[in-house]
Amino acid sequence: MAVGKSATDVEIFKPRIDKRAYRRIVLSNSLEALLISDPDTDKAAASMVVSVGYFSDPDGLEGLAHFLEHMLFFASEKYPMEDSYSKYITEHGGSTNAFTAPDLTNFYFDVNVDCFEEALDRFAQFFIKPLMSPDATIREIKAVDSENRKNLLSDGWRMNQLHKHLSSKDHPYHKFGTGSWDTLEVKPKEKGIDTRNELLKFYQENYSANLMQLVVYGKETLDEIQTQVEKKFDSIRNLGRNCFHFPGQPCTSEHLQILVKAVPIKQGHTLRIIWPITPSIRNYKEGPCRYLGHLIGHEGEGSLFYILKTLGWAMGLSAGEGDWSLEFSFFNVIIELTDAGHEHVEDIVGLLFKYILLLQRSGVTKWIFDELAAICENGFHYQDKVRPRDYVVNISSNMKLYPPEDWLVGSSLPSKFVPSTIQSALDELNMENVRVFWESKKFEGCTDLVEPWYGTAYSINKITASTIQQWVEKAPNAYLHLPSPNIFIPTDLSLKGLQEKVKFPTLLRKSSFSRLWYKPDTMFFTPKAYIKIDFNCPLSSHSPEAEVLTDIFTRLLMDYLNEYAYDAQVAGLDYAIRHADTGFQVIVVGYNHKMRILLETIVLKLHQFEVKPDRFAVIKEAVIKEYQNFKFQQPYQQAMYYCTLLLEDHTWPWSEELDVLPYLEADHLAKFAPILLSKAFLECLVAGNIEPAEAESVVQHVEDVLFRGPQPTSKPLFPSQHLTNRVVKLDKGVIYHYPVEGLNQKDENSSLVHYIQVHQDDIKLDVKLQLFALVAKQPAFHQLRSVEQLGYITVLMKRNDSGVRGAQFIIQSTVKDPAELDVRVGAFLKLFEGKLYEMSEEEYKSNVNALIDMKLEKHKNLRDEAAFYWGEISDGTLKFDRRDSEVAALRDLKKEELVDFFNYYIKVDSPQRKTLSVQVYGGVHSAEYKKTINEADEPGRYQIKDIFSFRRSRPLYGSFKGGLGHMKL
């Protein structure tokens, strides 16, 4: 039963357009819960936060809280079959995961609504009587270790740990939270510590109902959800534990006024200026850090970033609070430096303090606070609906931090203007309180210290306030000033009247220049719109040089627009200009009120494009670094890249693009841009709160600017010039394998992508493939990850290349080489074959119904809906009613048909099977790589030695865009 009058009489503050019902309850064991009833939802979800994280790890058992998070997924006394929880969730259209933070662990799942009650019961057992068997213990320590190895060469993880390492050893912030084989197995054994006993003890002592907050999101009424929650969670023990509490900042005086030079893995230079501050959550309605982050991180004219960009010293800047808790916090300014900026770090720090001085002199400004409050208010009240899983995770994490009425709002809605609070936060951003972290490959060989967990090389120098003052005095004179009022804040938030309910996009208009697909908002009823224009430019990808120049062209356009359009993004109107397979795309999404102003400015910049040599040089430098850093991608990402390169005709390899980059100059782009734009066709999708005539007018305007006039920028394409994506057709009964060394041999991880090509888009085959993927996904994860412990990343998923469908296994591992991983995938499929034959009719129907429920799931917001329809337009399949057709096909599908599909397309020794095995060999498997490439092919196996010879020798699937009524005008 719910206890205490205050438990249910709190009114939860919610957005104006939110039709969901909310109720707070407190169970008899003191567990606090928020219930959410959404009659329109097709997914149910729950998230449980336990206020215990890795700050509570016992000394000498780093990662124990994270390890416990892993272990709770295995089995419970009520559901003793290992992995039955995850199996149930996956087979009923859901997903599940968890994360361990410093002071909390968050467990969550979603599932199809009609299976919610049983899923919730299984979930509750995590916190009642989990089993944590000895056998699973050793296996899951290996999984934690694999997760840690995945992070070892990630700059994000490395720099975060270095920041923690350079803090007080007596503060839990100093800890290493992930855990590894060393911390959870080797070192405890050396000390005679039994990790499993410590794990059980940690659970028994810390997992107490009074330290838990639960969010449950369902379709039922609040009363019905409450009954379920009380029944399932009331038996969690309440030990009356106090919340873990560690007052004080992690940084003492010895950790302040330091300049840390660190060597990253990737190319590039990053400057992080960090101040320990009073947590702004204590004054969250006054939003002190939001106000300061808004100004210091601004990118408009007169801002710090604008000056640094003008000087050619920075490519990006962000500012705001990070790594915070109720007890301590940090304010961060992170600047991505150019090579020139790397030579001017003292000047850059000086300019930052000049801007802080400007804020001190200007005083806290009411109109800026009011403007920010108005933007935040619009953002809160007109927020897009998100997946229930994401929603419950966000709210559950808020519950221990905010009073119940503000659980949905959190810190997102500053509403009280208290200048003294903002001034106090500003005062903390001073020269005595600062830490400067400077990352660059140029420091290699010039450091004298090593961070113990990730091996990051670094050195420390003390910097005094007087030194920083000197940097301020010698920094360039620059006209730094506060931003101007934001013209993009929408004031018309009305909804357009709809003449008729349109279910799918319609072809509203077509000409020799463009084609316009239109879909009004009939579901979300928000004052937002979505415009996407795909510029099909055949000259954009005819060579590696053209591909790179098109990329730089789009980045320069974004660069030129930044000062003007930054305000639009702040006000909730996002835009992007990005390189695409057949040219480039312009996307504008957000409040529709001032969208036209932004889009017309983008088109004008496009029409009047000119190359500014200084900006070209900066963008080129950034692009070169991105290409150079490709080799530091995770091995599984490299394997997926090679798979795409092997399958998709007319894609250029990154190595060739990197080769041509150094020789490209501003003049090359100046000559290329007019050629790029000289021939174009515009594929457009306009959706949301926008009327048909307005949608037509938008496209008409773009045509008028680019295609009409005395000297048009563009001419229409000839029918022969329309570009399409063609995909390689693999031979039946042949196993193609492509072994390749990982690009960074310091990375121990190897990887496999085992791809099974099935068919070109066909509704009946599509649903069979999807049903196979659903039924096999969890058994594959359980066998390959949980039982065989091949690696942390172990996935079976569907694949779609321009309408050509297949299935792929993705595994990253240090314990087996890729050829051996391939063998394990084959062994799994043989094991699965038996389970598929034995599947009962009831279990089969349950899986079919789960997939149908997933198909019937409504789009959550305008972006989701538009992305789905754009996929059909982009592939040329144009099956806007795809989900309805798939549901109809699933209702008729018999189990025998699924078995026949498996035997024909998937079964290991099927003569019809089409297989591509991409094998990336990491540093620990270099001997196996040498052996593999020298082995003679067995019958039915073909080793690909050259990607492009292979591609040229293979037939291609026809493109859907080649069909009548598709690209033809």
Active site amino acids: 69, 140
User: What is the phi/psi pair of residue 296, to 5°?
Assistant: -70, -30
Using alpha carbons, select from 785, 775, 746, 919 the residue that is nearest to residue 840. Answer: 775
- Cα 658 → chain centroid: 26
CA 859 to chain centre: 19
Distance, C-alpha 762 to centroid of its chain? 30
DSSP state of 303: S
Compute CA distances 966 → 531, 700, 969, whole Å. 21, 21, 8
Specify the 3-state DSSP secondary structure of 257.
Answer: coil
Instruction: Give the pair of three-digit tokens for residue 598.
Output: 């932004």
Q: Which amino acid is at 628?
A: Q
| Residue 953 to residue 581: CA distance in whole angstroms | 22
Sign of the alpha-carbon torsion through 607, 612, 615, 616: positive
Q: Which amino acid is at 346?
A: E
Distance CA 567, CA 589 (A): 14
- Give the C-alpha separation, 773 to 902, whole Å: 11
CA–CA separation, 272 and 262 (whole Å): 11
What CA–CA distance (Å, rounded) separates 969 from 960? 15
Within a 10 A sphere around the Cβ of 125, how many other Cβ atoms?
A: 21
Pairing of strands 681-688, 528-536: antiparallel
CA distance 373 to 357: 24
CA–CA distances in Å: residue 834 to residues 828, 830, 846: 10, 7, 19
Can you tell me the distance from the alpha carbon of 753 to that of 776, in angstroms, rounded to the nearest whole number? Answer: 16
Please report where in the chains the tokens 């915070």 appear, as a residue: 324
The one-letter code for the residue type at 856 is L
Could you give the angle at which helices 345-362 and 465-474 cross, rounded to 10 degrees?
Answer: 90
Output the CA–CA distances (angstroms, integers) from residue 319 to 272, 322, 333, 440, 671, in the order listed.
10, 9, 4, 20, 38
- Asked if residue 179 lies in contact with residue 66, where contact means CB atoms within 8 angstroms, the answer is yes
User: 3-class DSSP state for residue 618?
Assistant: helix
- What span, in angstroms and rounded, lies between the C-alpha atoms of 424 and 932? 64
CA gap 687, 592 in Å, rounded: 10
CB of 812 closer than 8 Å to CB of 635? yes
Pairing of strands 258-262, 95-100: unpaired
Which residues lie below 8 Å from residue 272, measured CB to CB, with a gap of 6+? Answer: 159, 163, 332, 333, 334, 335, 436, 437, 438, 439
* Pair of tokens at residue 966: 């598709």
**What amino acid occupies position 771?**
L
Nearest Cα neighbor of 861 from 214, 222, 12, 15 is 15
Return the residue matching tokens 């290409």: 627
Q: Which residues pair with 171 in a beta bridge?
A: none
Q: Is residue 921 a contact partner of residue 738, using CB atoms and an 8 Å limit? A: no
